[in-house]
Structure 1
Amino acid sequence: MPPTPEQPTADTDTVRRLLESLLQDGGAIEVRPVTEGGEHSTWWVGAQHVLRLAPDGRISPGLRREVRVRDLVRPYVTVAVPACVAAGEWAPGLAYALDTRLAGESAEGRDVTAAGEEDLAGLLTGLRAVPVGRAVALGVPKAAPRSLENLRRAAGAAARKLDGDGEFDAERLRQLTGHAVVQLGPQADAVLVHHDLKGEHLTVSADGRVRGVLDWADAVVGDPAEDIAGLAIAVGARAAVRSATLAGYGPRVCLRGLWLARCDAVVRLADRLYGADGASPVGLLRVQLERAWEAILLELVSEG
């Protein structure tokens, strides 16, 4: 659908005009769109900055809130989060944020080492330490834990479709029994959750260290297993569970996160292949499915 007058489009000229008002020589700095991500219009600005523009009013509140959330999180976590250089509106009701660019490349292109897993453990530990009341006061919404039983049913239907096309062995979902679902109900107190820890939001250095975490716009106060699930899809089930264990989470929380990730990955691939989601690259969704379904030692529910 073409943009309407009430929904302006950010092009290179729009970005340059905005940068002229924000940075010295901003009009001459090289700008290019970021290809990863979807909800924001995101641009590389030279080598030092990233500009994100809300494409519609629905995205603007989260983008504005994110600046405050990152300032709250920064003292608690052991990895970098972007600092805001300037924020405002690039069009009526449409927010922007000009941030510092973090070192490293997307985790989609670099593997995380054992030292990187320790970095992720520091992230999870720090998020658990953030005072929930302060996050809520900033407008961070509360999110109830998802029903693993409902997700299992959705994944089962999706798995049968994928199985028919040779994309996934539906029998693998039988590992998640009804008894296991009960045991893997929400175990931990609500904490600040990034809620979108996919590979493109993790910056990784050449030596496999996790140097930073991007895009905090979807942060909620909720189930910490959601971030374990995100890491399983971003860096693999083994690394995610090891990182969560280092952060002090017990087996049941780790397994809950693992099964959230596995079911999500099955549902998302089916949605993409059968018409419900036309945006996500099929290749990436297949890779995420493989990551989430890595075999781990901790496959039996135990006391956590």
Structure 2
Amino acid sequence: MTEERLPTAAEVALLAQDAVPGVGVADVRPIGEGGDHASWWVGTEHVARCALDRGGSERLRREVALRGLVGDRIGVPVPRSVASGEWARGRAFTLDARLDGVSAELCSVPAAGEAGLARMLVLLAEVPVADAEALGVPPEAPRNMPGLLRRAAAAAESVAARGEFDAAWLPRLHVPAAEAATAPGTLVHNDIKGEHLLVAGDGRISGVLDWTDAVTGDAAEDVAGIAISVGAVAAVRVAEAAGFGPGACARALQLARCDTLALLSDRLRGLDDSPLPLLRAQLRRAWEPTSLDAPHGA
């Protein structure tokens, strides 16, 4: 078996049959998302995720354990594994109960959703770091902001030359309130984006998906993810409601803006295959002018 082999629908159906009696191959449909794992709809109520290599297997097993730790503690639903194991030698899988809701990429996040995200940030900070790290969640040092800013400025020039970025926005990269210091490390989802946030019909956050990249580290990374997902203005509201000060909010904006420029630049140069419409939307959201931006950058 090679590292690249994907599971077949028949293999996924066989894995699910003990937990979902009566499921067959016809009930299994690929989702087409995931970096180091393949994701499948199983019927109408379950999702199967199969790791494609040993590193992905380690992260997937760790995610299942981490979701067990945070599931009742962070104020928003996370997927629950109803079966797990290996779909092939050394390749992990989990069969999760499907959560209700619509991807935040497809709908807006209203006030109720913002309140849920703020509560999640508060409660994530209360999860003991030692408990998360005991499950294998790695510590991660805060990213070096001067280096990020230099690379982002270079990316802005190349992206603007292709008509994909308004150079007049560039002053927003240097948010006046940003501080070099960061808060003590907390548990961080570390990959918040629209497709990982589910929104219920009443506006609540009905699910936060894919915890495979979780770390203990800089909580501003999650605020940056919220800016990329729902916009900089909403992200600042969420962060302030969660008790973040101006410096931490500003650092999060810088992270989001640096990342969206770098990702779009890489895509335009053929170094990434992410969908261009998604990257453009994420950049627009992260670069919204906020109350923290200098007047000339608004």
TM-score range, shorter chain: over 0.9
SS in 1 for 2:187: strand
Instruction: Give the gaps of 5 or more residues in structure 1.
Output: none
AA matched with 1:277: D
Deviations along 1:242-273, one digit per CA (max 9) or x if unpaired, are 11111111111111011100110011001001
Matches within 5 A, 1:65-76: 65-76=62-73
Residue 257 of structure 2 is aligned to residue 266 of structure 1? no
CA separation of 1:7/1:265 partners in 2, compared to 1, >3 Å: closer, same or farther?
closer
Match of 1:63 among 60, 65, 70: 60
Q: Does 1:298 align with 2:295?
A: no
Deviates more, 1:258-267 or 1:27-36: 27-36
Preserved CA contact (<8 Å) 2:124 2:188: yes
Q: 1:10 aligns with which of 7, 24, 43?
A: 7
2:225 alignment partner AA: G
**Which of 185, 188, 205 pairs up with 1:190?**
185
- Contact 1:186 1:223 (8 Å CA) reproduced: no
Summarize the alignment of residues 1-304 of structure 1 with structure 2, pairs less than 5 Å apart. Answer: 5=2, 7-27=4-24, 30-177=27-174, 180=176, 183-278=178-273, 280-299=274-293
Return the offset for 1:169. Answer: 2.4
Aligned length: 295
Note the C-alpha offset of 1:142. Answer: 0.2
Q: Distance in 2 between matches of 1:16 and 1:39?
A: 20
What percent identity do the matched residue pairs reach? 51
- Contact conserved, 1:55 with 1:94, CA < 8 A, in 2? yes
Deviation string, structure 1 residues 220-259 (Cα, Å, up to 9, x no partner): 0000000000010011111111111111111111110111
CA contact (8 A) 2:79 2:209 kept: yes
C-alpha separation in 2, matches of 1:118 and 1:5: 45
TM-score of the superposition, structure 1-length normalised?
0.92
d(CA) in 1 for partners of 2:189, 2:12 = 28
The 3 A distance-change label for structure 1 pair 160 and 6 is: closer
Query: Residues 192 and 219 of structure 1 are in contact (CA less than 8 Å); yes or no, is this contact kept in structure 2?
Result: yes
Structure 1 residues 96 and 18 mapped into 2: Cα distance closer, same or farther (>3 Å)? same
Deviation of 1:299 after TM superposition, in Å, equals: 2.1
Q: Which digits, 9 at most, give the CA deviation of each residue in 1:59-101, with x for residues without a partner?
A: 0101000111111112221110111101100000000011111
| 1:147 Cα deviation after fit | 0.8
**Which has the higher mean CA deviation after the structures are superposed, 18-27 or 231-240?**
18-27
Quick one: which amino acid aligns to residue 133 of structure 1?
A
1:107–1:234 CA contact under 8 A, matched in 2? yes
> Could you tell me how far 1:106 is from its partner in structure 2?
0.7
Which 10-residue stretch deviates more, 94-103 or 20-29?
20-29
Q: Distance in 2 between matches of 1:252 and 1:239?
A: 16
Are residues 175 and 292 of structure 1, via their aligned partners in 2, closer, same or farther at CA, if it must alter by over 3 Å? closer
For structure 2, the 5+ residue unaligned runs are none
CA apart distance, 1:166: 1.0
CA deviation profile, 1:281-304 (whole Å, cap 9, x unmatched):
00100000000011111225xxxx
Distance 2:148 2:7 in 1: 37
Contact 1:8–1:91 under 8 Å retained in 2: no
Q: 1:189-237: CA deviations, max 9, x gaps?
A: 1000000001111011123221110111110000000000001001111
CA distance in 1: counterparts of 2:262 and 2:4, whole angstroms: 31
Any conservation in 2 of the 1:106–1:201 contact (CA below 8 Å)? Answer: yes
